[in-house]
Structure 1
Amino acid sequence: MSEADARLQDMELPTALYESTDDGYLATALTIGPWDAGLQHAGPPAALLLREAERAGAIEGGQTVRMAYDIFAPVPVGPVRITASVVRPGRRIELVETVLTAGDERPLMRLSAWRMRARSDGAAPEPPAPHPAASGPEESRRELAAFFTTEVAYHRALDWRFPTGSFNSPGPASAWTTPRCTLVAGEPMTPLQHLLVMTDAASGISAVLDWTTATFANVDLLVSLHRPPRGDWLGMDAVTTLGGTGAAQCTAVLFDAEGPIGRSAQSLFVEPR
């Protein structure tokens, strides 16, 4: 056990990423990102925006199949508010938009979520495809990101297991995760919320640049699913490609223990620190 993990055993970690308030939510220390201790990792607010989109949707038992996030500015660690609206209502298909604000009400993140009625289409399902990870979570290596500036931060919100690659060395990587906390205090984290908490870290696990000399923050996140995630363990197989012009792209195959469930993509802004 590392010295940092030994110290952590004596700490009292938050049990949730957010606590409900009278007019929104209060972010806990588990939302802290790697770039600045006062700013959130984009994964937790992405999940919070998804939670509000599903609550605002009118399709009972619907499934969210595409989530397109725009990240306008970093989200501070503190109180946040979310507004929701149904842009395109429908009994079978709907488009829901949620917007996150803090302080001066300037939009910081926006989600456009396409949701569909869940039903059997009558076609025989294909045999489950194997997940793309080299091994399952039990056989994979547990690892903690070494580049966070505070010990209690986003990297403690999930249990990370790496079949291939690493948080702490460059190149493509695959990782399994399971939650160590809830999204909102007092309610369980759904598999889809868990997926969103995790997926924004695809560009972190597959980083090709040194965190200490370069920034490569994403300005968006696109998640497209052909079926909902299931189970306690979810994974991603990620790769980042530099464009040589100050831009990069990260793509990932998303999966659970039963096989692939969809894909994600992120556009990265790259510059020296």
Structure 2
Amino acid sequence: MELPAALYEPTDDGWLATALTIGPWHPGFQHAGPPAALLLRQAERASAIAGGQTVRLAYDIFAPVPVGPVRVRTSVVRPGRRIELVEAVLSAGDDRPLMRLSAWRMRSREDGAAPQMAAPHPAAAGPQESRPEEAAFFTTDVAYHRALDWRFATGSFNSAGPASAWTTPRCALVTGEPMTALEHLLVMTDAASGISAELDWTAATFANVDLLVSLHRPPRGEWLGMDARTTLGGTGAAQCTAVLFDAEGAIGRSAQSLFVEPR
């Protein structure tokens, strides 16, 4: 099977989403992971802190993002030499915002007075010891689930309950550019609620309206992972939380608010 080389192809005024962005709910709508990474890419390019680190990413998902042309506009909301807040907003056919990112960035430096604390690794096994798996619930053969190589240490895409999985990219984010570790993290992390689903995909929808990622250090390496759990509220809402990690250990956490209703 021949896959697109990237999630997005550059156009004169933005990007064209390829089939690898297609999400599980409708073949005409993107999974939120790829546009989350694209917004991060543009926010970092708008930053005035050279070599800085992005430590918190708060996404609001206003409406489904269509598979097609998209644009991103950015602004520095709170400038600073050491700390800044950058906003990036994605739109499609008109100027109506579909997704928004608010990203806090900080100056990066080695702090010898605050060494990283040793802790058990969040994953039960490494990527090479984990089980390869493909999601069975996508309605098209070429879609988001093929953008990453998935390896499950615990749980499964295709059964209910918590899960821990590793991923590595199978494509670029934008044609002609290597995907950075942080971009990879964002492509992956929005799927936390998918790998830890507590409901039958054919009987209910549980799409997230937001995504919050908080990092205590940047991700490193080819393989990144998440240990995810979804909690149903019984009132039409649910929450998914995940511990995010790389080969060296935990790097942060994510949270998603889910809107739940029968199909």
TM-score by length of 1: 0.95
* Structure-2 residue corresponding to 1:86: 76
CA contact (8 A) 1:61 1:118 kept: yes
Match of 1:194 among 184, 192, 208: 184
Amino acid corresponding to residue 234 of structure 1 in structure 2:
L
* Structure-2 residue corresponding to 1:63: 53
Q: CA deviation at 1:12?
A: 1.6
1:240 aligns with 2:236: no
Alpha-carbon distance between aligned partners in 1 of 2:88 and 2:132, rounded to the nearest angstrom: 34
1:15 aligns with 2:2: no
Match of 2:213 among 223, 233, 244: 223
* Structure-2 residue corresponding to 1:214: 204
CA contact (8 A) 1:128 1:258 kept: no
CA contact (8 A) 1:165 1:172 kept: yes
CA RMSD of aligned residues (A): 0.8
Amino acid corresponding to residue 155 of structure 2 in structure 1:
G
Q: Which runs of 4+ in 1 moved over 4 A?
A: none
**1:163-196: CA deviation from partner (whole Å, max 9, x where unpaired):** 1000000000000000000000001000000000
Q: CA deviation at 1:130?
A: 3.5
Alpha-carbon distance between aligned partners in 2 of 1:183 and 1:128, rounded to the nearest angstrom: 32
Alpha-carbon distance between aligned partners in 2 of 1:127 and 1:209, rounded to the nearest angstrom: 36
**1:40-60: CA deviation from partner (whole Å, max 9, x where unpaired):** 000000000000000000000
Amino acid corresponding to residue 110 of structure 1 in structure 2:
R
Amino acid corresponding to residue 160 of structure 1 in structure 2:
W
1:174 aligns with 2:136: no
Identity of aligned residues (%): 86
Q: Structure 1 regions of 5+ residues with no counterpart?
A: 1-10
Aligned residue runs from structure 1 range 34-49, under 5 A: 34-49=24-39
Match of 1:110 among 80, 100, 103: 100
Match of 1:155 among 136, 145, 151: 145
Q: CA deviation at 1:102?
A: 0.3
Amino acid corresponding to residue 269 of structure 1 in structure 2:
F
Q: Structure 2 regions of 5+ residues with no counterpart?
A: none
Alpha-carbon distance between aligned partners in 1 of 2:246 and 2:154, rounded to the nearest angstrom: 16
TM-score by length of 2: 0.99
Q: CA deviation at 1:127?
A: 4.8
Alpha-carbon distance between aligned partners in 2 of 1:26 and 1:154, rounded to the nearest angstrom: 15
- Specify the SS of the correspondent of 2:98: strand
1:123 aligns with 2:100: no
Alpha-carbon distance between aligned partners in 1 of 2:30 and 2:261, rounded to the nearest angstrom: 20
Q: CA deviation at 1:124?
A: 4.6
**1:64-92: CA deviation from partner (whole Å, max 9, x where unpaired):** 00000000000000000000000000000
CA contact (8 A) 1:96 1:112 kept: yes
1:270 aligns with 2:223: no
- Specify the SS of the correspondent of 2:89: strand
Alpha-carbon distance between aligned partners in 2 of 1:131 and 1:106, rounded to the nearest angstrom: 42
Alpha-carbon distance between aligned partners in 1 of 2:84 and 2:187, rounded to the nearest angstrom: 23
Match of 2:91 among 84, 88, 101: 101
Amino acid corresponding to residue 157 of structure 1 in structure 2:
A
CA contact (8 A) 1:37 1:149 kept: yes
* Structure-2 residue corresponding to 1:251: 241
